[in-house]
Structure 1
Amino acid sequence: MIIKLKLGSAVVLSQVKQATIAYADSEAYQTAIEQAKKGLRDEDKGKPFETVLHLPAVYADEDGQEEVCPEQIATTVRSDNVSGDPVAVVLIPDDNAVGELQSIFIYKTDYAEVLTDTGTTLSKVKAKRYR
């Protein structure tokens, strides 16, 4: 799969094994928001989320071996002038660790698209200014 993102002025193309877009009314979106809040540093509270990396307490590594460690959540925040609540979140499971998840938050001025390796669009969120 290919993920195409435009976040603020940055455009990113990434190849991943799996990705989905979760919208504001979904359970996956709500879980991502909760994890983002847990992973924020005190000085970043109140700022718009950018990315969350979540490593659960128990996960399987690339060899299928179960690993136990403290839950780890890291949240980064946006440095551009984005405001409001995210309209969606792109969820990307880690290719090498079962249970690890990266969440990328999409705001109303952003663009996100999940495509097949051949370029067929599977799902997308378009920014208002591009409609």
Structure 2
Amino acid sequence: MKKDIEIPKVKGVYVAVVNEYNDIYKTQDWNAYIINEKDVDLEMVIIVTDGYSENKITSKFRKKIDVLPKKSYAKIELMQEELFALNNQFKVSFFEGNQMFDKTYLFRKNTINLKALQSVPLMDVKGVLVK
């Protein structure tokens, strides 16, 4: 029976952490985004995030996005810099058509920093990207 279960690979969906200026509070903030580079909309996107290390664990944060249109992105959460000393994982589940997809994106501890910035698809900004 297990051999009959097909778990499709997630392609074209990424998570990025971007350092950007906050006009309201006049600060540089780190924000996490989900990016849909596919040519189809994603439906019922569920994101569960948490951070952990050998002796610390954060509370879970959950976010639901009804529809993430094709070739678009959405903000997941504001991230405090203290969290970067932990492994930060984003568990993402969504429907594409009638098929469910699931993937865990992991930012290992201390990998989110200004030296690790790279181009982020669709957003025209630099950030730390996990594919």
Instruction: Tell me the TM-score normalised to structure 1 length.
Output: 0.28
More helix by share: 1
